[in-house]
Every structure is written in C-alpha cells, then in structure tokens.
Structure 1
Amino acid sequence: MITSVIIPAYNESERIVDTINGINDLAEVDEIVVVDDGSSDNTAQVVKSIDIEKLKFYIQTKNYGKGKALEKGLEIMRKDADIVVFLDADVGKTSSEVIKIIRPVLDDECDVAIARFRPASKKGGMGFVKRLAKDSVYEMTGVELNSTISGQRAFKREVIDRFDFMPDGYGVEVGMTVDILKWGYRVNEYLVDMTHNETGRDLKGFIHRGKQYLHIKKIVKQKKKEWGD
C-alpha cells in the first residue's frame, strides 16, 4: 500500500522543517508533497533546502487558499497512491502522530480517519466555530463528529477520487466531511497528541475565527443546496 502525505503551507518557515522531518522516517509514508501557497516569508527557500528523497515540492505564485493547494498536491502526487493524507504544515515535530490516522485506514477500520486533538492549552475562543461545524455536519448527515474542522485526515484513494475539486477557504474540511458521509463512507476519529500554532485571543485571532465562521456558513449553505437539505 502506497501512502502520500500532502502538506499545504502558507508562511510556515519556522515549523515546516520539523513537520516534514517528523513523518520522513515513518515506514508507512512513501511520499511527502508540500505545496507552498504563495508564502510571503521564506517557506519556499526552507523547503527547497531539505534533501529528502520522498519529498516533492511545488510553489504557487499567489496565495490561492488551502483548497487550491490541496488540489495541486493531489495533481502532482503519485498516481499509484492507495492512501492520501492531508496534514497541516504547523504541527511541527508532532507530525509523527499522523501514524494514528494512517494505520486505521491501512487496516480497513474505516474509509476516512480524522485526527482529534486534545483540548488547547490556551483559551482561543474557537468554541463557536467548532460548534457551527459540528452541528452543521450532524444536521445534514445524522453523524456526530467532534473534529469536523481538523485538517489532519487520511483517506482511501477511492474516497478522494470522488471529489472533482476541493471546497474553497476554511470550510474545506466541513464541506468534504458532509460529502463523504452523504456518500456512505465510514468516518472515524482518533485521538492524537498533536499540537499546532494555536490562535490567540487577540485581534488577529478573532479576525481569523470570524473568517472561519463565515466560510463554514457559506459552505454549509452550498452543501444544503447541493444535497437538497
């Protein structure tokens, strides 16, 4: 079984090396695809300097958003990949925990595995975004998941091939989750000891969460229209 890990990266020069190194030695990971989504820092230069045989790297000249970065990763990954993994660039050394969502898919416990993080170490005010995502998925599918906005996911290739394109913006995970459950695939969550760059309770953090909320609202409205809900 061939596993490809796709990492969309935007201004992650401080963490991307640790994120890549954390999964490089995993025997279950055959390919690492990093897509720089028009970073304004030196993420591209940092990744270019990494000498790893299983690493592929692509630079998008503009910041097109996470959905487009994932699409590009799917386009350039190995065509014979059996399992496709999405991994955020900011998880650093804890990226090795991704094995906890790869193995269940390898073992056919589920068709899609989602990483469930432990509660954040600092209050970030993310509650209303997570509630919107969780409640919206439950309302549309009848399935209760706690990590509907988690970016760490492992998919059987047949599932990912069902998508003609990735939803845009911060609603990408919620949109995909709705479709996958509607199609009847098995989705499980697995607790991981990952950490990422937590959003704080400052102005920048609240603006970010506001954007997330609006993007999720938009994608949910779109999915309700598509599925006739």
Structure 2
Amino acid sequence: MMKISVVVPAYNEADIIEETLLTLRKQSWVHEIITVNDGSTDATGELCANLSNIAIQLERNRGKGEALQIGWEQASGDIIVCLDADLGESVKEAQPLIEPFESDFIDVVIGRLPQQKVRGLGFVKERAKRLIYKKTGHWISAPLSGQRAFRKKWLATLMKNQYQGYGIETAMLLDLLEAGATVIEVDTFITHRATGKNLAGFLHRGKQWLELEKSVWRGLE
C-alpha cells in the first residue's frame, strides 16, 4: 500500500485553511499532512499546528516555492501531494491525483481544475505553456495548477534548484520532464479562489509572471 503525504503551504489563510485541513483529515487516502506556515501574520500558524501531523512555522514569508521544498523534505510518504490552502471542502476531490500511481510508469500527476466564472486574462498560463513546450516538447494544459502529486524518488531532482515563489509549478515541471519523468494530467472537481480582473488580481498575476521568469529563464529567449 502506498503511503500518501500531503504538503500544504499557507500564507494568511486563516479564513479557510481550517476547513481545508479538517476535510483532509477525513480522507482515508491521506496518511500524513504537512503544513508550512509561510510567515503568516494571522491565525494560520495556530490552525496548522492543531490540524497537521507536521506543522512547519517559518518566521518570515519566503514564498510558495521555498515553502513547498521545505515541506517536501519532511514527507515520509511514497507519494507527495501538493495542495493549496484555500481549497476548503473541495480538497476531498483531490483523490484522482493519486489513482494513476497504481501504474508504475506514472511519475507525476497534475490536477486540472474546472473553469471558474471569474478568472484572469490567462497570459501567465500561456507563457508557462510555451516555455515548457519550447524546452521539452511536452504540451501541458494546466502548467500553473498547484494541485499535483509526484513519486518521492523524484525529490532529489526537485531539490537541485531553489524555486521562486509562484514560479515553482512551471519550474518543477521543466526539471521533471528534462529528467525523464512521465507526467500526466487528470480532471478534478477541486475549486479555489480565482483571481479576478481587478487591481489585486493584476498585481497577483504580475508577481506570478515575474517569479515564473526568475525560476525558469535559462536562455530560452
């Protein structure tokens, strides 16, 4: 039987992370919950400490990339699942991420989320798709999805580089594909807060784009 470790990075998610973690604790396929409180200034850290098997508390905000890598190092499972903190009750829909690992040749599974009514312009996603295709020849339809799983044997590959914040999803895919990992995508019913077409949304996507470029730019342009 495969042991499943779930790693949840969190920054100021006190309004929803309790629901996310309580739902995760009820899932029979989840054997270990590791949270990384990324320097939150609200009650996120306390909630993580109360509801996780391992709760890592970072004193300052170090970004999603570094937070995930710190969490991965503590995982004892055969499969490491990455899930966002703001999934709430829909986190129970993450089980399709682990089902493909019954096949030995599958190394990485990415969860595609349903389309949401409120969403951004998609330029960061398209940029990520093009970067991955140009570098590896693989077309990934959901390169920015934070809902993904991989076999622990690939951890050494994923710890060779330090990932920049929100650039981690694209950068880790590049590293895994270049190392020969077999990556597939599956549809899920996971939902989370979408980034809208307002100032906050544009600022978020701008930061996401900058961190993506910092993580993956390797003389491609």
Aligned position for 2:54: 56
Q: Deviations over 1:121-162 (max 9, x none)?
A: 21322x101100111101111111111111111101111232
Aligned position for 2:67: 69
Q: Is the 8 A contact 1:70 1:166 kept in 2?
A: no
Q: Would you identify which runs of 4 or more consecutive aligned residues in structure 1 move more than 4 Å?
A: none
Q: Is the 8 A contact 1:105 1:154 kept in 2?
A: no
Aligned position for 1:135: 130
1: CA distance, partners of 2:169 / 2:48 = 25
1: CA distance, partners of 2:105 / 2:85 = 26
Relative to structure 1, is the Cα distance of residues 4 and 166 closer, same or farther in structure 2, using a 3 angstrom cutoff?
farther
TM-fit CA distance, 1:109:
5.6
Aligned position for 2:142: 147
Q: Is the 8 A contact 1:101 1:153 kept in 2?
A: yes
More off after superposition, 137-146 vs 159-168? 159-168
Aligned position for 1:15: 16
TM (normalized to structure 2)? 0.93
1: CA distance, partners of 2:57 / 2:118 = 33
Runs of at least 5 residues in structure 2 that lack an aligned partner in the other structure: none
The count of residues paired between Structure 1 and Structure 2 equals: 219
Is 1:206 the equivalent of 2:206? no
Q: Deviations over 1:40-95 (max 9, x none)?
A: 11111223343x6xx221110100111221122122222xx211111111111111
Q: Is the 8 A contact 2:111 2:145 kept in 1?
A: yes
Aligned position for 2:185: 189
Q: 1:163 aligns with which of 143, 158, 161?
A: 158
Q: SS state of the match for residue 200, structure 1?
A: coil
Aligned position for 1:84: 80
Matches within 5 A, 1:106-145: 106-108=102-104, 110-125=106-121, 127-145=122-140
1: CA distance, partners of 2:214 / 2:48 = 33
Aligned position for 1:217: 213
Q: 1:173 aligns with which of 162, 169, 172?
A: 169
Relative to structure 1, is the Cα distance of residues 15 and 109 closer, same or farther in structure 2, using a 3 angstrom cutoff?
farther
TM-fit CA distance, 1:26:
2.1
2: CA distance, partners of 1:63 / 1:162 = 24
Identity %: 38
Q: SS state of the match for residue 7, structure 1?
A: strand
TM (normalized to structure 1)? 0.89
Q: Is the 8 A contact 1:149 1:173 kept in 2?
A: yes
TM-fit CA distance, 1:163:
2.3
More off after superposition, 199-208 vs 39-48? 39-48
Aligned position for 1:24: 25
